[in-house]
Structure 1
Amino acid sequence: MRKNTAKRMILLCIIGTFGMGRTVLAEGQLSYADLENYNFCFTSGVGSWSTELEVNEDGTFQGNYHDTDMGDSGEEYPNGTMYVSDFSGKFTDLEAVNNYTYIAQIEYIQCEEAPGTTEISDGMRIIYSEPYGMDHAENILFYTKGAPAAELSQGYLDWVRTLPGTIDENGQLAFPGIYNEVAQEGFFSTEKEVTEASASGIDEELKQTAARASVLESRLGTEQDLTVMTQLSNELFLVWDDQLNSMWQRIKTRLPAADMERLRDEELDWIAEKEAAVTAAGANAETSMRTLIENGKAAAVTRDRVYVLAEYLR
């Protein structure tokens, strides 16, 4: 479980200022516009902690980091501790290293709440933190979809190779990736299905997501190999988690500030409840089965939350 000590106490957490006078990329090379239709995620399991990131055409980005530790409790916060960071920033211009690797730095990054700030909400301690995965950054590497896995950083592969579908049958990266080189922290990505949703559009979007989930559920129902089952259950969770994260980013741009603040508090409560439910689901399971069961519970709880949040996009 990641614990972020959040050493800096300023709202604008500047990591570096770079990028003056960089060369514009030649036609055909990777640009930030190529990354705009992907959701990036840094995680290592069923979502006990994760950092979600979206990159915009102009190199700006926004994201969220959260981690929950139900065991870190006290008299004033019996429901545990949550680490949270809502952040935004900007990358410098991309520079090509080779045909499948590009490099940039973080021009600036800022957190909505000052890292280190603490509050108690509904019996839970909230610690506002620096964004895990984007912290202590110097060089940020961008890998193109189709990059040969054998030539990627081992530190990056150590983070993403355990996820299903990371490397395709040709030994190539199956998605664009982002790697914080110094901190050795790697993001995988999934393609956004829909960038904008109308009242009818969100229903069609959810229909497509449910169809993808149904395929995975069918495979789980017939699979006999426990390792494959566990991988499929993790992929099922990610289908719903990606959908939730995509919807959340859109909701943030639509709700008035006061309504968004109330929904944000509700979302923090939901994350804590989800983590507690996942932990409880696997508590009495055999070690070999625990991850499979926890994945299934995380997928089901996240799916239910997706349909709740969908109401805000109708």
Structure 2
Amino acid sequence: MSKRHKKRMQRRISIVLIAVALVLVAGCGVYFLVNRSGADTTVDEESTYNTKDVGDTTDTNKAENDTTETTKANDSTLTFEDLAKYSYSFSIGAGGWEDDFNINKDGSFHGGYHDSDMGDIGDEYPNGTFYYCEYEGHFENIQKVDEYTYKMHLKDIKVINNMGEYIEDGVKYIPTNPNALSNADEIDIYMPGKPVSEIDEEVQHWIFIDAQDQQDTLENLALVNVNENQGITSYERMAPKEDAESNYKTYKESYDYYADQLSEAATIADMVEATSNQIRVSDECLNYIWRIIKYNTDEATFNKALEEQRQWLKDRDASAEKATAEHDGGSMATVDYNDTYATMTMDRCKELLNYLK
């Protein structure tokens, strides 16, 4: 494998989580949120992904059991737990669009697609155009085809963007659809060792066979969207704790950027905007770390975290409401609510790292 390709395959997955993805716009030198909720700063416990995850354990356990039974019934030696050891990427190479996703042990997946066109500009968006998509779904029914090939079925996929088109900081953001799993039904799984001669030339191009030093057999596991004849590369996934700590650091940097904006805010409207952005960053950080805990801890550890998380959610929301009391409504009440909510959420993200080994 060439050094360029090896470096690419080993890099950390950069999933663009559109609900609150962090985008470093070239030439601007600051992080921007891909998603925002406009002027509505009301925070609903049921609207956050982590809250839905917190209350959902029965379905997940059932999905894991169903997946195991299906896999055994088809006499497959490959499981979703095996596939969860990798991250998956569909792209044209460095500097272009990219679609990344992770698969969990129960067959669920979560990912994001992004693309940018710095030449597509206008009077209101001189810094270009950014396309984004966040999605999730489930795979099912892994079956063995031959020594080096398996297949699985795409059970469902849904786009979970919660924003439409908007302009922020001179960039136009446009929602779009998934790319890697577009029009997908059957997904082939090519195992390391599969003869390259048995792989379609177009698929070889997508999985960068031409960038490898050897050409006889496949070196890394690959997926194929059969309907579109598109190859999807894989590379070893970061250890859960390392993944959580790395992303916490990234989100914290963005959170601190908006904290600086808050300290420099000249109007209450600016304060509301800055604290609203802090809420989005802290919520997404919490969601990301919670997913890692959910799929990478034993039952006893997860149940302990779940019980604590439910109580913490109640305490956080109560504290945020209490912070608004002295203002008796109005914009400053919103600022105080947002500030308390975001601060407690970011602190909780750091605490949750202790559940991972």
TM-score category by the smaller chain?
0.5 to 0.7
Report the equivalent of 1:88. 136
Which sits farther off after the overlay, 43-52 or 154-163?
Answer: 154-163
Report the equivalent of 2:318. none
Cα deviation, residue 82, structure 1? 0.8
Q: Does 1:134 align with 2:153?
A: no
Report the equivalent of 1:191. 236
Report the equivalent of 2:153. 105
**Partner letter of residue 119 of structure 1?**
Y
Q: Does 1:71 align with 2:116?
A: no
Moved over 3 A (4+): 19-23, 25-28, 162-165, 247-252, 255-260, 262-265, 311-314
Cα deviation, residue 147, structure 1? 1.6
Q: Does 1:148 align with 2:195?
A: yes
Aligned length: 200
Report the equivalent of 1:287. none
Q: Which runs of 5+ in 1 are unaligned?
A: 1-18, 203-246, 266-310
**Partner letter of residue 192 of structure 1?**
R
Residue-by-residue CA offset, 1:240-281 (whole Å, 9 max, x unaligned) = xxxxxxx449978xx99964724799xxxxxxxxxxxxxxxx
Cα deviation, residue 161, structure 1? 2.6
2:80 counterpart (22, 32, 51): 32
Cα deviation, residue 23, structure 1? 5.7
Residue-by-residue CA offset, 1:78-101 (whole Å, 9 max, x unaligned) = 111111111111012111221211
The answer to whether the Cα contact below 8 Å between 2:207 and 2:232 also exists between their aligned partners in 1 is yes
Q: Which runs of 5+ in 2 are unaligned?
A: 1-65, 256-275, 285-348
1:1-314 matched pairs, under 5 angstroms = 24=72, 29-113=77-161, 117-161=164-208, 164-165=211-212, 168=214, 171-197=216-242, 247-248=246-247, 259=278, 261-262=280-281
**Partner letter of residue 124 of structure 1?**
V
Residues 1:260 and 1:50: Cα distance change in structure 2 (over 3 Å) = farther
Which sits farther off after the overlay, 154-163 or 30-39?
Answer: 154-163
Matches of 1:25 and 1:47 in 2, distance apart?
Answer: 43
The answer to whether the Cα contact below 8 Å between 2:76 and 2:144 also exists between their aligned partners in 1 is no
TM-score using structure 2 length:
0.48
Matches of 1:27 and 1:139 in 2, distance apart?
Answer: 18
Residue-by-residue CA offset, 1:15-35 (whole Å, 9 max, x unaligned) = xxxx99956356662111111
Residue-by-residue CA offset, 1:164-211 (whole Å, 9 max, x unaligned) = 44x746x22111111111112211111124222399xx5xxxxxxxxx
Cα deviation, residue 148, structure 1? 1.6
Residues 1:80 and 1:258: Cα distance change in structure 2 (over 3 Å) = closer
Q: What is the aligned-residue identity percentage?
A: 28
**Partner letter of residue 144 of structure 2?**
A
**Partner letter of residue 176 of structure 2?**
S
Matches of 2:133 and 2:229 in 1, distance apart?
Answer: 20
The answer to whether the Cα contact below 8 Å between 1:83 and 1:127 also exists between their aligned partners in 2 is yes
Residues 1:25 and 1:33: Cα distance change in structure 2 (over 3 Å) = farther
Cα deviation, residue 140, structure 1? 1.1
Greater share of residues in helix: 2
Matches of 1:48 and 1:264 in 2, distance apart?
Answer: 28
Residues 1:121 and 1:139: Cα distance change in structure 2 (over 3 Å) = same
Matches of 1:98 and 1:72 in 2, distance apart?
Answer: 47
Report the equivalent of 2:328. none
Report the equivalent of 1:284. none
Cα deviation, residue 72, structure 1? 1.2
Residues 1:164 and 1:124: Cα distance change in structure 2 (over 3 Å) = same
The answer to whether the Cα contact below 8 Å between 1:178 and 1:186 also exists between their aligned partners in 2 is yes
Where 2:88 maps in the other structure, the secondary structure is: strand
The answer to whether the Cα contact below 8 Å between 1:25 and 1:31 also exists between their aligned partners in 2 is no
